[in-house]
Amino acid sequence: MAEYEHYIDGEWVAGDGEDFESVNPATGETLGTFPRGTEAEVERAVAAATEAFEEWRGLSYIDRAEYLWEIYHELRERHQELGEIVTKECGKEISEGKADVTEAWHMVEWAAGNARHPHGDIVPSEIAAKDAYMRRKPRGVVGCITPWNFPVAIPFWHMAVTLVEGNTVVWKPAEQTPWCGQVIAEMFDDTGIPDGVFNLVQGYGEAGAALVDSDVDTVLFTGSAEVGHSVNQQVAEVPDKNVSCEMGGKNAIVITEEADLDVAVHAAVMSSFKTTGQRCVSSERLIVHTDVYDEFKERFVDLAERVAVGDPLDPETFMGPVADESQVEKFHRYNDLAQTEGGTVLVDRAELDEGEIPDGHEDGHWVGPFVYEIDYDPELRCLKEEVFGPHVALVEYDGDVDRAIEIHNDVPYGLAGAIVSEDYRQINRYRDRGEVGLAYGNLPCIGAEVQLPFGGVKKSGVGAPAAREVIEAVTTRTAWTLNNAKDIVMAQGLSADITTQQD
Ligand code: NAD
C-alpha cells in the first residue's frame, strides 16, 4: 500500500505526526497511508508560502496562469483515471466522479483565461486632469480548507483564481479524500511552479485549525456550518485577516399546482438522491401543492423505491455509499427524529437488504432512500437541520405560492432551491423572494456551473470562496489616482490654496 507525504516548499516531506488511512467507502479497502499534519508542519508550509509570495506576485497574471494551463491539460488527459480515484475515495458514482474532474478543469480554465481579461476598473474623476482606477493587489498567503464531497473541484474553486491573482497557497484537503489531494499536489509539482507557491498539508481538523490560526492573510473554507462558523469567528478577531466560508443547506424544491409533474419528479429525484444526498445543494424538503400532492407523492415514492444503489464504479448505479460511518449514524439518527416528530414513513430503504449490497462490498457504508411526509410546523427540527444523506420530507401546502415560499424560507440556511411551475408569475415570485444564493426554475437545485456566482445566504455562507467571487476574498482594492496636470486641483470644490503666514 502506498505511503504518501506532505508537499511543502517544493518538496515531499514525511510527516512527524501519526499516519492515517484513506478508505474506500464502498468496499472498506485501504487506499493509501497519509501523514496527519501537525501545527509545526502547517507553520512550515505557511513560512514557505510567505517566502515565495514576493517573487510570485512579481510575475504577470499571464505567466502565473501558464502553470494552471498545464494542470488544465493534465486534468483533461487523465479524466477517466482521476474520475475513478474520486469515486473510489468518496463513493460518488462514476459519472459524478468524472464530473468532479470536469468541474475542476472548468474552474481552472475560467481562472487561467481570466488572466487575459481586464482586472479592476477605470473610474471617472471630477477633475479632468486626474485618472482614477480601482486596482487589485493579492492579499498574500491564502489557507484553503476543503470538504470531501467534491475532492477535486472545490480545491480548484479555491486555488485556481487565488494563484492567478498572485497569492500563494497552503491547502488542507479533507481527511476522507487525501489521495485526491496527493494527485493534485503531484500535478502542481509536474508544472514546475516555483517552490513554496503551492503547499499541501494532509490531516484532520486540528491541521485545519492550525492553518486558521497561522499567519495566513486569508482563509477560504468550504464545509459544514458548525466548523465554518467557528472558523469565521476565530478569524474575525484578527484585524486584517480575511475569511470566506461556504457551508451547508437545508434546501427545498417548491412544486406548485401549475407544475409539469414529469419535470417535478425528475428534478426532485436528481436533487434528493444524486451523490447519495451528500451535496451541499441536495434537497431534503419537497414542498408540494395540495392539488398535485397525491400524484406527485405516488410517482416520487415509486422512483425512490427503485433508485439503483450499488457499486459506484458500475455505470448503472445511481447512488453509491455514504462517505463514512459517521454519515450512516447521522442519517439513521435523523430518520428516527423525523418519526418522533410525527412524520409518516413512505419509503424506508435506510438499511439495505443483504441482496442489495454488491458482492465484495459488505464493508461499505450503505444506505438507501428514506422518504417521509410530515405536516409543516415551524418547530420541527427535521425540517430545519441538514442531514447530508438521502433523507427527504414531503410537505403539503395549500394556498398561493407565497405560502410555499414562506415554508421554503423557514430554515436557518439559504444555499440552493428550485421551483417547478408552468406559471411565470409563480416562478418570478420565487426568484425574487426565495432566500437562497442559487435558485432554479424547472430544474433540479443541483448542478451549478463555475462561471456563475456560487454562494449562500443566512447560515450557508459568509463571503464566497467559490467561482469568480473568490477574487474579492483574495485581493485588496486600491483606489489609485494620478494627476496629469502641474497644478493640484481637489475634488468637491476643496481649496488647494496653501495659506502661509506673511512676515
Ligand atoms: P467539515 O466541516 O467536517 O470539514 C471540512 C474541512 O474542515 C475538512 O478539511 C476538515 O478537516 C476541516 N476541519 C474540521 N474541523 C476544523 C476546525 N476546527 N478548523 C478548521 N478546519 C477544520 O465538512 P465535511 O464533512 O468535509 O463536508 C460536508 C459539509 O460541507 C456539509 O455540511 C456540506 O453542506 C458542506 N459543503 C458546502 C459546500 C458549499 O459550497 N456551500 C460545498 C460542499 C460541501
Reported confidence tier of residue 353, pLDDT bands at 50, 70, 90? confident
Quote the number of domains for the chain: 2
My answer on whether 225 and 270 are in the same domain is: no
Give the orientation angle of helix 424-433 with respect to helix 401-409, to 10 degrees.
30
- What pLDDT does residue 354 have? 79
- What pLDDT does residue 192 have? 98
SS3 (DSSP) at 35: strand
Mean pLDDT of 398-411: 98
Spatial separation of the C-alpha atoms in residues 47 and 201, rounded to whole Å: 13
Spatial separation of the C-alpha atoms in residues 25 and 325, rounded to whole Å: 9
Report the side by side order of strands in the sheet with 11-13.
Answer: 11-13, 6-8, 198-200, 168-172, 141-145, 218-222, 242-246, 461-462
Q: Decide if 455 is inside a domain.
A: no
User: Probe ligand 1: pick from 247, 271, 327, max atoms within 8 Å of CB?
Assistant: 247
User: Probe ligand 1: pick from 38, 221, 222, max atoms within 8 Å of CB?
Assistant: 222
My answer on whether 134 and 148 are in the same domain is: yes
My answer on whether 55 and 143 are in the same domain is: yes
Least confident of 141-145, 273-277, 353-357, 360-364: 353-357
Are 65 and 59 within 8 A, CB to CB?
A: no
CB atoms within 10 A of CB 336: 12
Q: Residues 163-194: pLDDT tens digits?
A: 999 999 999 999 999 999 999 999 999 999 99
DSSP 8-state assignment for residue 491:
G
Question: Is residue 369 over pLDDT 70?
Answer: yes
CB atoms within 10 A of CB 108: 27
Mean pLDDT of 275-280: 97
- What sign for the dihedral angle of Cα 300, 384, 364, 447? positive
Q: Decide if 494 is inside a domain.
A: no
Q: How far away, in angstroms, is 248 Cα from ligand 1 center?
A: 9
Is the minimum distance from the CB of 246 to ligand 1 under 6 angstroms? yes
Cell of 302: 415509486
Are 296 and 264 within 8 A, CB to CB?
A: yes
Q: Decide if 416 is inside a domain.
A: yes
Amino acid at 205: G
Secondary structure element (H or E) that encloses residue 171, with its range: strand 168-172
Spatial separation of the C-alpha atoms in residues 272 and 274, rounded to whole Å: 6
- Nearest ligand 1 atom to the CA of 223 is 30
Q: Residues 21-49: pLDDT tens digits?
A: 999 999 999 999 999 999 999 999 999 99
Least confident of 346-355, 357-366, 464-473: 464-473
Question: Is residue 468 over pLDDT 90?
Answer: no
Reported confidence tier of residue 159, pLDDT bands at 50, 70, 90? very high
255: domain CATH number?
3.40.309.10
CA 324, 327, 331, 337: dihedral to nearest 10 degrees?
140
- Nearest ligand 1 atom to the CA of 323 is 25
Residues 6+ apart with CB under 8 A from 355: none
Q: Decide if 353 is inside a domain.
A: yes
Is the minimum distance from the CB of 462 to ligand 1 under 6 angstroms? no
- What pLDDT does residue 445 have? 98
Global pTM exceeds 0.85: yes
For residue 409, give Cα distances in angstroms to 62, 253, 381, 442: 43, 11, 14, 19
Q: How far away, in angstroms, is 225 Cα from ligand 1 center?
A: 8
Mean pLDDT of 473-498: 96
Cell of 379: 418547530
- What pLDDT does residue 503 have? 66
26: domain CATH number?
3.40.605.10
The whole domain housing 69 covers: 6-247+460-481
DSSP 8-state assignment for residue 205:
H
List, by residue number, the catalytic residues: 246, 280
CB atoms within 10 A of CB 302: 11
Reported confidence tier of residue 322, pLDDT bands at 50, 70, 90? very high
- Nearest ligand 1 atom to the CA of 225 is 32
DSSP string for residues in 215-233: S-SEEEEES-HHHHHHHHH
Pairing outcome for strands 121-123 and 130-138: antiparallel
Q: Decide if 317 is inside a domain.
A: yes
DSSP string for residues in 107-158: HHHHHHHHTTS--SEEE--SSTTEEEEEEEEE-SEEEEE--SSSTTHHHHHH
Cell of 3: 505511503
My answer on whether 240 and 314 are in the same domain is: no
Spatial separation of the C-alpha atoms in residues 463 and 456, rounded to whole Å: 9
My answer on whether 255 and 239 are in the same domain is: no
My answer on whether 349 and 218 are in the same domain is: no
Q: Decide if 174 is inside a domain.
A: yes
Spatial separation of the C-alpha atoms in residues 107 and 229, rounded to whole Å: 26
Q: Decide if 498 is inside a domain.
A: no
My answer on whether 282 and 372 are in the same domain is: yes
Is the minimum distance from the CB of 277 to ligand 1 under 6 angstroms? no
Question: Is residue 1 over pLDDT 80?
Answer: no
Q: Which residue, among 107, 103, 110, has the nearest Cα to 82 in the 3D structure?
A: 103
Based on the number of CB atoms within 10 Å of its own CB, is 231 exposed (0-12), middle (13-18) or buried (19 or more)?
A: buried
For residue 76, give Cα distances in angstroms to 24, 102, 353, 457: 24, 7, 38, 33
Cell of 195: 517552490
My answer on whether 231 and 298 are in the same domain is: no
Q: How far away, in angstroms, is 245 Cα from ligand 1 center?
A: 10
Amino acid at 366: W
Question: Is residue 465 over pLDDT 80?
Answer: no
What is the separation of C-alpha 267 from the centre of its chain, rounded to a whole number of angstroms?
Answer: 21
For the chain, the average pLDDT equals 96
My answer on whether 224 and 276 are in the same domain is: no
Question: Is residue 343 over pLDDT 70?
Answer: yes
DSSP string for residues in 350-380: SSPPGGGSPTT-TTS-----EEEE----TT-
- What pLDDT does residue 240 have? 87
User: Probe ligand 1: pick from 148, 171, 176, 224, max atoms within 8 Å of CB?
Assistant: 224
Spatial separation of the C-alpha atoms in residues 110 and 392, rounded to whole Å: 35
Q: Which residue, among 437, 283, 448, has the nearest Cα to 371 in the 3D structure?
A: 283
Reported confidence tier of residue 467, pLDDT bands at 50, 70, 90? confident
- What pLDDT does residue 146 have? 98
- What pLDDT does residue 499 have? 85
Q: What is the largest CA-CA distance in the chain?
A: 104
Is the minimum distance from the CB of 469 to ligand 1 under 6 angstroms? no
Q: Which residue, among 110, 108, 132, 107, has the nearest Cα to 120 in the 3D structure?
A: 132
SS3 (DSSP) at 481: strand
Q: How far away, in angstroms, is 379 Cα from ligand 1 center?
A: 26
My answer on whether 219 and 328 are in the same domain is: no
Question: Is residue 367 over pLDDT 80?
Answer: yes
Cell of 41: 508542519
Secondary structure element (H or E) that encloses residue 247, with its range: none
Q: Decide if 54 is inside a domain.
A: yes
My answer on whether 180 and 322 are in the same domain is: no
Is the minimum distance from the CB of 171 to ligand 1 under 6 angstroms? no
Q: Residues 209-261: pLDDT tens digits?
A: 999 999 999 999 999 999 999 999 999 889 889 999 999 999 999 999 999 99
My answer on whether 202 and 347 are in the same domain is: no
Is the minimum distance from the CB of 372 to ligand 1 under 6 angstroms? no
